[in-house]
Amino acid sequence: MKLGRKKTGGKYIKPRKKKKFEKPGQKREVKIGEEKRKKVRTLGGNEKVFLLRGNMVNVQIKGKKNKLVIKNVLETPSNRFLARQNIITKGTIVETESGKVKITNRPTQEGNINGILIE
């Protein structure tokens, strides 16, 4: 048989390389620290801003929006090892001066940290 051909005589088509938008980016982890953001160019020339470090969380208490300082990461339901490294993800419970706050957004996809007060 000829090389690069099927039994039926058809050609084997080589798989193409991945294009830039199909390639995975770097792993993003939001840690506690002085605020640091990064911008990335996305498809269509748009920009996505994501957080690398943050120490403030937006919390709504009795109809008023407050910015609270994050003291510590208490627990992360998705992975207990992330809490030990003070990495913030969606669902993480953090300690603030007003009490425990549960993170409700994805800080690696957005440029801020939002949460709700839990008792």
Amino acid 89 reads T
Could you list the residue range(s) of the whole structural domain that residue 37 is in?
26-118
pLDDT at 114: 95
Classify residue 97: in a domain, yes or no.
yes
Smallest Cα–Cα separation from 86: which of 5, 2, 36, 30?
A: 30
Q: pLDDT band for 93, please (50, 70, 90 cuts).
A: very high
Higher pLDDT, 23 or 99: 99
Classify residue 104: in a domain, yes or no.
yes
Residue 24, SS3 per DSSP = coil
pLDDT at 28: 85
Classify residue 72: in a domain, yes or no.
yes
Quick check: 75 pLDDT over 70?
A: yes
Q: Are β-strands 47-54 and 30-32 bridged in parallel, bridged antiparallel, or unpaired? A: parallel
pTM (predicted TM-score)? 0.76
Q: How far apart are CA 8 and CA 96, in angstroms?
A: 68
Amino acid 97 reads E
Classify residue 53: in a domain, yes or no.
yes
Classify residue 110: in a domain, yes or no.
yes
pLDDT digits (tens, 9 = 90+) for 26-61: 888 999 999 999 998 888 899 988 899 999 999 998
Q: How far apart are CA 98 and CA 55, in angstroms?
A: 14
Q: What's 31's domain CATH number?
A: 3.10.290.70
pLDDT at 73: 94
Number of domains in the chain: 1
